[in-house]
Amino acid sequence: MDGPCQYTTFIATINADTSRETVGSAANKFRNCEKMINGVMQAHVSAVIKELKEEFKEKMRKMKEEILLRASFTIKKSKVKGAAREIQFLGAKLQDGQCHIPTEATNKITAMSPPTSKKDTQAFLCAIGFWRMPIPEYNQTVSLLYLVTHKKNDFHWGPAQQQAFAQIKQEIAHAVALGPPDGTSAPLEIVLLDKVSTGFPGVVQLLEWLELPNNIVMVLERPERSQDLLHFIRARRFLSEAVARQLFRQVLEAVRHCTSRGVLHRDIKPENILVDLATGQAKLIDFGCGTYLQDTAYTHFAGTLSYSPPEWTHLGWYHGEAATIWSLGILLHQMVCGQHPFRRGRKISWDHQLLLPQRLSPECQDLIRWCLSMHFLDRPSLEDLFCDPWIQDIHLP
């Protein structure tokens, strides 16, 4: 027998035998019955979970197939011709589960001549929008092209559109040059998250993802009881140094892990750190502004402007590690002080004096000021931070 009938029969046997068996013997039978039930129930729950996972995968597969069929039909029915149409067909062909752009597609996008009609412009925007190309200030740049596609506007390709068009193609070529060595490219956020999320608790885990015609659906882990660090701080006004140290060190571990995988996050701030309230584990999230790590300076900014280092504001370039250390200094200040050190859009001067609460330990104050050194060469390295007395909870005399 299987299922509840088996339990009922066995328990009924125990009840019938209690007149002949000792109380101890009956209790042993009950315990054995309980173990058996627990084992069967665990197996049943595991089977149900497995079945639900398979059902979810099948639904996602059918949804993807339906989307691709609609996309292909739309492309075939469109009146777009020339290079723009070729790019659309390339996009349809590569939406077969491989999750890559062939070099042929990126070459055609970067070699495309300026659009001569609204349809061509729309096709170009669809081609780059589908893959979420890593373009700095994407919305602001692309909006100039969307202007010429409006129904109320006549098609007019001016200097502003030409500049935006050239910048977009340049950024695509740059991203492909930095991409995987096999000559393919995938949505950059997915590539970066895939490189750093597996097997490391300090980065949010990417469970599944699906490409839609104009969006990417990402299925990410989320602890049952969790809160982003910004709201975690606000609920307490500010964090004690002990709590801040524990969380800040975890963020440093996550940054070091990303660095070891050749990934630069570029948008470290409280909103992008998730705290598991049950375990205290901090997780770095949102790699949408991330890029590949490089030794040379970056000349394009991505991230939150209020966390950008002074060398970007004043000189228009920054180095990956130095900019990260600057944002970590702002993060630590927000943890222990409850507010951004350069709030309300206030510009940072080269001779700025950072005032800190006297309640903070000298070691904590020194670390914040060190991270927020105006010259990038004066800031600590990531490994310097791990050796810092405050991080190691060493109080200097």
Separation CA 21–CA 179 (nearest Å): 74
- Burial profile 202-214: b = 16 or more Cβ within 10 angstroms, e = fewer: bbbebeebebeee
d(CA 106, CA 317): 27
Paired tokens of 22:
């000792």
Q: Is 154 a catalytic residue?
A: no
Q: State the Cα–Cα distance between residues 137 and 289, nearest whole angstrom.
A: 10
The string of DSSP letters for 161-225 reads HHHHHHHHHHHHHHHHHHS-TTS-B--HHHHHHHHHHTT-TTB--EEEEEE-SS-EEEEE---SS
332: number of Cβ within 10 Å? 25
Report the candidate in 389, 382, 384, 369 with the shortest Cα–Cα distance to residue 255: 382
Q: What is the DSSP string of 134-151?
A: --TTHHHHHHHHHGGG-T
Q: Which of 2, 154, 194, 267 is catalytic?
A: 267
Q: What is the DSSP string of 29-74?
A: HHHHHHHHHHHHHHHHHHHHHHHHHHHHHHHHHHHHHHHHHHHHHH
**Active site amino acids:** 267
